[in-house]
Amino acid sequence: MSFEIKHLAGGVGAEVSGLTIDGPIDASTQERLNALWLDVGILVFKGLGVSPEAQLHLSRVFGTLEVHPIESIRVDEYPELIWLSNKGRKMASVYYYDDEPVIGRIPWHTDLVYTTTPCRGALLRMIEKPDLGGETGWIDTAMAYDALPDELKTRIEGLQALFQFILEPGEMRFGRPHNVRKEMEGEGARQDIAFPEFEDVVHPIVWTHPVSGRKALNVSPLHIRHLVGMENEEGDDLLKSLVDHATQKKFTYFHDWAPNDMVLWDNWRTMHCAQGNPPEETRLVHRTTLHGDHAFGRVA
């Protein structure tokens, strides 16, 4: 099966077009797609997510899929798919960013970095797009690492940081959004989701990708708390500078969704964020998660 590749503006990620996903994808195409994904980290498939089956066929090209532990967000008949939406909830948490109300905004983070074995990646498919907002952003943290001065690379090699399971932007220590306040958390916001307990973990702040061997910055702003052995002003200043560096625009790609778009990301070399949307807008996406079989960190 042939397909075309177009690198995205700014050099972060690539768009794949010309695929036909009407069943399992042949071995040769799988091999070429995996090589491309390993090379660029983020793949955009515009308009190809026409069904749950198409999403599952494409997801399985890149690894083993996980069944999400929270049953209430699994998609009926497709246990490897989960839905993420404000649809069907009477009221959700509303945050005000510069006095503008937003729901569903999630700051920059790496998935499951608050565990010892983060997932390999994920594939997101847009089902129902809001008229306003709803964009998703990604950062190529390998590109961010490559851009560091050599002396800073030497300084941070071997350093470790503590990571915690954090949900609230107001609890972030680094990269915290400015001018944000939480107004309400009403019925239907989180009562239907029982979050498990997570122990604090320690990870290196420079990850070496187990497959490609590329190094990447691991500084998930939503979850990182402090450098191990440097719980002081020096350590905090260093982490702040690394977060500020990694979240520069030149390392990011923001996707303005259309229905049936899909985006795949390598969780071992990226961070992502959800921009959220106005409370009156509805957004519905389906997601598959690729199992991670490599332990980067340890329980604190």
Q: Can you tell me whether residue 200 is helix, strand or coil?
A: coil
pTM score: 0.94
Q: Which CATH number fits domain 4-293: 2.30.110.10, 3.40.50.1820, 3.60.130.10, 3.50.50.60?
A: 3.60.130.10
**Residue 191: predicted pLDDT:** 45
CB of 41 within 8 A of CB of 32?
Answer: no
Give the per-residue pLDDT at 157.
Answer: 97
113-160 tens-digit pLDDT? 999 999 999 999 999 999 999 999 999 999 999 999 999 999 999 999
Higher per-residue confidence, 272 vs 181: 272
Is residue 204's pLDDT more than 80? yes
pLDDT of residue 182: 85
pLDDT confidence band for 213 (50 / 70 / 90)? very high
CA distance 69 to 198: 13
Bigger pLDDT: 105 vs 184:
105
pLDDT, tens digit (0-9, with 9 covering 90-100), for 55-103: 999 999 999 999 887 788 899 899 999 999 887 554 567 889 888 999 9
The candidate with the shortest Cα–Cα distance to 255, out of 104, 126, 130, 136, is 136
Average pLDDT over the chain reads 93
pLDDT tier, 165 (very low <50, low <70, confident <90, very high otherwise): very high
Domain ranges for the chain: 4-293
How many CB atoms neighbour CB 234 within 10 A? 10
55 Ramachandran zone, left/alpha/beta (phi>0; psi -120 to 50): alpha
